[in-house]
Structure 1
Amino acid sequence: MANEIVAPLPGIFYRRPAPDKPEYVLEGDEVKPGDVIGLIEIMKTFYEVKAEESGVVDKFLVNNEDTVEAGQQLLALK
């Protein structure tokens, strides 16, 4: 059964901490509760999006710098 990580709030989703830094996680990476998987920016303030359960990143459902809504699925875990 696949699980998803959803956006806790609306904003712009970023997969990396800065343009010149590597992505937090890639498809196929294992994550544990508390691991940062991305950032959401609202009005120049950045909020970390963290995994709430363990799993392997199956697929990102949004792209880097996409605008997301609260509750929108960001990635699927397997």
Structure 2
Amino acid sequence: MSTVDAQMPGVFYRRPSPDADPFIEPGSVVRQGQTLGLIEVMKTFNEVKADRAFRVSRVLLDDGDEVDVGQTMFEVDES
């Protein structure tokens, strides 16, 4: 199992808006370049994109959680 870690500090969001479905859920099969979530930094929203294909095992953050550089956001299975 491997992880997807934050590349910047900020506030994490799992969905594009409060009434929308999350970008991904545990069990989701993700393709390279797919949006996994958003990190807000100084009122700017930055997309977190998959750098490879994988299946999501665990989502470790909820909407509004603060995230630091290097913090694990997702556990993934690449097999």
1:6 aligns with 2:11: no
* 1:21 CA displacement: 1.0
Could you list the runs of 4 or more consecutive aligned residues of structure 1 that deviate by over 3 angstroms after TM superposition? none
Partner residue, 1:38? 37
| Overall identity of the aligned pairs, in % | 40
TM-score, normalised by the number of residues in structure 2? 0.92
Partner residue, 1:23? 22
1:58 aligns with 2:57: yes
RMSD of aligned alpha carbons = 0.8
Mark the runs of 5 or more structure 1 residues left unpaired by the alignment. none
Counterpart of 2:60 in structure 1: which amino acid? L
User: Separation in 2 of the partners of 1:53 and 1:61?
Assistant: 19
* 1:54 CA displacement: 1.0
Mark the runs of 5 or more structure 2 residues left unpaired by the alignment. none
